[in-house]
Structure 1
């Protein structure tokens, strides 16, 4: 028989611990964590069969509508594998949408259980969902602005490079260096760095060598070495820069990539321009 009890409206907002039917608990579709190690999950399921769930999951909801996980999806998954009918849970209906989103992300960050790109995407979703600046995100999760900005910049990486970070074949330090390059340079250098298992310092050396390589002599149309110039501008601004030039029309275009308005404000500041809302 379920141990879910009836509560008055006044009591419903108070955090409480209950044993909930596991089939009444659903995962959070906005959960930051998307990768679960199957071997580790199997080990946890074996442990739960013997000792039960030691730490409750955290949910929101009620017995009529069901419950949504805020934190503890790994325990919830393992408990299902272990064949548990009920799960100890802390019911939190006292949180607003932003607080609920932060709670799960913070737990994963504290446990260091998120992959590199899951962390980056989780921080981005938190900022986008609630209109938060990098500073505000940092305050919510108890990290520095630099921590937040560094992870968000990794979202500029090409998908093959993101995969190498998630697989642990490249570090966040490697990713930070590669984020300022164009897509083709990212992919080429990332593959070489992962294959050769080079250090962050060695990768920095490769990038400097590429940017310092002498440009090809200009052709009769006056076309410059755009790749080298893109690299220099990307390093100077800290954002990916793309250049295009039409020698026939004698005109070109420069594009500077940025992830969100907060990063755009930082870019303006580096260019010596003050945004209107400052």
Structure 2
């Protein structure tokens, strides 16, 4: 089944667009009429790589069109795919760029923007996690649905989403390339994760060394009462269970609602609870 999912991802954006979305003929648009889209999951662009691409565009032009859709503003178009090319074209001084205009809804725009970036491996792991989380929170996807759309396993989706629970300082280390996603995953169960993260950088620890260190410290007991935060709790539970999660914090209670679309997901959840209770 997963092979079939991966083949969907491997078809490429052109085939996905052509099969599902109304497409207008390629055309040239003034670059000032194009703006980044809210559907763009990528937030960090390497200025040096943008400059390198701009030199190529200055010499050979922009070969691959930017994919856009009409925005709510008159004569303004929103980028679905190709923001890096658009930035480089601006830096190269182009006044117009080739575009393909798509008539597309927000949900489809986000999905296809994610697929494009996953195909090209353009996203850092946190951008990938945030993109998956948007599909879940804004468009009511389950983890299974996300996995099916982007051609990844459900475990990959779940493990990637868990990285959103990391402290901001560790997220910055990830974004800056100071540690790998493997390091970050090893820190998820570490109560002193920031201290360990700094050790990773200062002492150049590998993932296995971090896993051993965290495992050794585990079981030392709770240090402080956790702070109840609806969004944080929702994200943490969503990363662990394939269900729609609703959290409500009241004066004397915290209510958590889980909605399962698939009975097998509920069965997996019950089995996980049973295994945890026996451990």
Q: TM-score range by the shorter chain?
A: 0.7 to 0.9
> Please, which runs of 5 or more residues in structure 1 have no aligned partner?
1-11, 213-227, 231-241, 246-252, 274-278
Contact 1:20–1:89 (CA under 8 A) maintained in structure 2: yes
Asked if 1:191 corresponds to 2:198, the answer is yes
Of the candidates 207, 210, 214, which is equivalent to residue 207 of structure 1?
214
Q: How does 1:174-185 map to 2 (within 5 A)?
A: 174-182=183-191, 185=192
TM-fit CA distance, 1:181 = 2.6
Contact 2:40–2:113 (CA under 8 A) maintained in structure 1: yes
Contact 2:166–2:188 (CA under 8 A) maintained in structure 1: yes
Aligned residue for 1:92, secondary structure, equals strand
Aligned residue for 1:104, secondary structure, equals helix
Q: Could you tell me how far apart the structure 2 residues matched to 1:13 and 1:257 are?
A: 39
TM-fit CA distance, 1:64 = 4.2
**In the alignment, what sits opposite 2:91?**
81
**In the alignment, what sits opposite 2:235?**
259
The size of the alignment, in residue pairs, is 224
Q: Could you tell me how far apart the structure 1 residues matched to 2:233 and 2:188 are?
A: 11
TM-score (normalizing by structure 2): 0.73
Q: Could you tell me how far apart the structure 1 residues matched to 2:34 and 2:62 are?
A: 15
Structure showing greater relative contact order (alpha-carbon pairs closer than 8 Å, 6 or more residues apart): 2
**In the alignment, what sits opposite 1:3?**
none
> Please, which runs of 5 or more residues in structure 2 have no aligned partner?
1-20, 243-267
Q: How does 1:1-278 map to 2 (within 5 A)?
A: 13-61=22-70, 64-93=74-103, 95-182=104-191, 185-211=192-218, 228-230=220-222, 244=225, 257=233, 259=235, 262-263=238-239, 265=241, 268-269=269-270, 270-272=272-274
TM-fit CA distance, 1:158 = 0.4
Q: What's the CA shift string for 1:84-111, capped at 9, x where partnerless?
A: 1111111111x33211111111111111
Q: Could you tell me how far apart the structure 2 residues matched to 1:68 and 1:169 are?
A: 33
Contact 1:16–1:92 (CA under 8 A) maintained in structure 2: no
**In the alignment, what sits opposite 2:5?**
none
